[in-house]
Structure 1
């Protein structure tokens, strides 16, 4: 058996921690488009455990692709937390 690649090591708890770390690093007056705020985020401050800033950024990109994005990053993180907790909610089952 080969060990899973780092991208596979993200547990639900880790993903929620990522979103919490992101929220803690948002400006208090977050009213910008999410892409603007996202581009100014210091990913090294978001990093936790053995997940680097770059790994956190890549995981965020993956999670954020699953949620709608026409809101502030603060609002988007809240939706992303709900998606991580219940990834099947809102998906059409065939």
Structure 2
């Protein structure tokens, strides 16, 4: 299994727009993907003052990720206008082990 962790810092003042886009675009799309075992969207804790959101996804394999997002599976995927709301981002992949 592959753990795919996305972190994105949203432009100041765009936090509510980002969360709305994730809830209305990204999450429904993720729920339809074959080979996705689980996903966990994360938002900044209020007291942190951070603007960084994350998404932790567990996939059956790299092949399952590729089937969902294409040959550039090691790059971030954005739905609608999500990318325009992001100041900076990172994406990492890890093998899940016991």
Tell me, yes or no, whether TM beats 0.5.
no
Instruction: Give the structure with the higher percent helix.
Output: 1
* TM-score relative to the length of structure 1: 0.32
